[in-house]
Amino acid sequence: MLEVNYIRENKEQVIHGLKKRNFTAGDLAIIDDILRLDDNRKSIQTELDALLAERNALSKEIGQLMQSGKKDEAESIRQKVAGLRDEAAVMESRMSENREQLQTLLYKVPNIPNESVPAGSSETDNEVYKAWEKDLPELSGEALPHWDLAKKYNIFDLDLGVKITGSGFPVYRGKGARFQRALIAFFLDRATAAGYEEIIPPLMVNEDTARGTGQLPDKEGQMYYVEKDDLYLIPTAEVPVTNIYRDVILNESDFPIKLTGYTPCFRREAGSYGAHVRGLNRVHQFDKIEIVQIQHPDRSYDTLQEMLAHVGSLLDSLELPYRILRLCGGDLGFTSALTFDFEVYSAAQKRWLEVSSVSNFETYQSNRLKLRYRDGKGTRLAHTLNGSALALARIVAALLENNQTPEGIVIPKVLQPYTGFELLN
């Protein structure tokens, strides 16, 4: 979330940013509400602190009087302090009420979009940041979508997943399973080669962790929740991996922190059906390799570019045609300041599939995480960034479709050492 002081000092900028997220004049009233509550909080605190200071001083006096045997004097002060206590109790409850209200409002304010974020209300307004310059692959009339290819070559089975679990839980088999494992290993190797530390995190997280990266309270319905133990299944490795640095104070020399993690990802994605979401296009469980960086605020946008280049190089290696979009204000995630989406072209479906999302959260997550660094004068919030590198299910879909031949599916060269076969048939 945003810091109140930031909102106070950059009010015009904040309002400008929220407008880009299509806040109406009515919605924007929240900003003044926040500032008013914060003013209120300050004045209550000043009053309360003074009261407590007096109480502490008098209490100390009582102690001294008691020790020197002046019981009567102590008794009279004691009565005075008892009154102070009641006053303080009232003020404390006003204080906590006020703090709760303020917190609730702050949770409702999304991150301020970066200057470069285009205006717009939906995904159709996203800007093509880097187009695909070469020709798009064309397949013959017999080309099959990946769900048909999966049946033909026994790569994955969604019906079997329904039997075992429910819809949207694919079962990968044989060479399909091996292909999956090859992609994971390839992506992890490339990430570690690029200097990211490999992490295997827990797949379930507690409430504090889910709150730290912003899944709570905004996206509660997206996560599977294990009620008995009060745990959430992770929707992305971003959640447990970034939270490694929750409540941490770094030194400037620690930057950049680069982490990567492979995990299955669980998403409820309630209420989406149709041709659009067939096959692997949208499932409840999929594998993803995530890259996370924690960086000095002055360098986070360079880091974002570095991460874009990393994801791009993976797609280049896999010989997949892709384009990069800069998300508009209306499509930008709640916690993000700037997000680039990578889309891969699926020749059989004749559409672009989102395979990666790379974002700079600036201080929005770190404020919740209390992730700071020392800069000589005091502590400041660090910047957090993350990106998929890459999400498997849709990459698999695109590779199956684009690389299909009458003999089988051609495995990209870079993956062959991992699969042990050149043709998936």
- Enumerate binding residues for RNA (CB under 7 A): 38, 42, 45-46, 48-50, 52-53, 55-60, 62-63, 66-67, 78, 81-82, 85, 96, 249, 372, 374, 378-379
Nearer to RNA by Cβ, of 122 and 379: the residue is 379
Q: How far is the CB of 28 from RNA (least distance, A)?
A: 22
Nearer to RNA by Cβ, of 78 and 130: the residue is 78
Nearer to RNA by Cβ, of 136 and 249: the residue is 249
Q: Tokens standing for 121? A: 């209300």
> Rounded to whole angstroms, how far apart are CA atoms 245 and 231?
19
Q: How far is the CB of 58 from RNA (least distance, A)?
A: 6
> Rounded to whole angstroms, how far apart are CA atoms 4 and 120?
27
Helix runs in 342-411, H state only = 364-369, 392-402
Q: How far is the CB of 230 from RNA (least distance, A)?
A: 9
Nearer to RNA by Cβ, of 80 and 163: the residue is 80
How far from chain centre, in Å, is Cα 175? Answer: 32
Q: Tokens standing for 242? A: 């970034």
> Rounded to whole angstroms, how far apart are CA atoms 317 and 413?
8
- Phi, psi dihedrals of residue 422, rounded to the nearest 5°: -100, -15
For 320-345, give the DSSP string: --EEEEEPPTTTS-TT-SEEEEEEEE
Q: How far is the CB of 295 from RNA (least distance, A)?
A: 18
Cis bond upstream, residue 297 (ω within 30): no
What's the Cα-to-Cα distance from 92 to each of 38, 49, 108, rounded to whole Å?
15, 10, 25
**343, 353 contact by CB (below 8 A):** yes
**370, 382 contact by CB (below 8 A):** no
Nearer to RNA by Cβ, of 45 and 101: the residue is 45
Q: How far is the CB of 372 from RNA (least distance, A)?
A: 6
Nearer to RNA by Cβ, of 59 and 285: the residue is 59
> Rounded to whole angstroms, how far apart are CA atoms 19 and 22?
5
Q: How far is the CB of 45 from RNA (least distance, A)?
A: 5
Nearer to RNA by Cβ, of 21 and 372: the residue is 372
* Partners of 295 in the β-ladder: 383
Nearer to RNA by Cβ, of 49 and 159: the residue is 49
Nearer to RNA by Cβ, of 40 and 425: the residue is 40
**99, 41 contact by CB (below 8 A):** yes
Q: Tokens standing for 330? A: 């209306």
What's the Cα-to-Cα distance from 314 to each of 120, 124, 399, rounded to whole Å?
30, 26, 13
Determine what percent of the chain falls in helix, strand and coil, rounding each to the nearest 5. 50, 20, 30
Q: How far is the CB of 46 from RNA (least distance, A)?
A: 4
**370, 246 contact by CB (below 8 A):** yes
Nearer to RNA by Cβ, of 264 and 417: the residue is 264
Q: How far is the CB of 44 from RNA (least distance, A)?
A: 10
Q: Please report how the helices 146-153 and 392-402 are oriented relative to each other, as an axis angle in degrees rounded to 10.
A: 80
Considering only CA atoms, which of 388, 369, 46 is closest in space to residue 215? 369
Q: How far is the CB of 96 from RNA (least distance, A)?
A: 7
Q: How far is the CB of 67 from RNA (least distance, A)?
A: 7
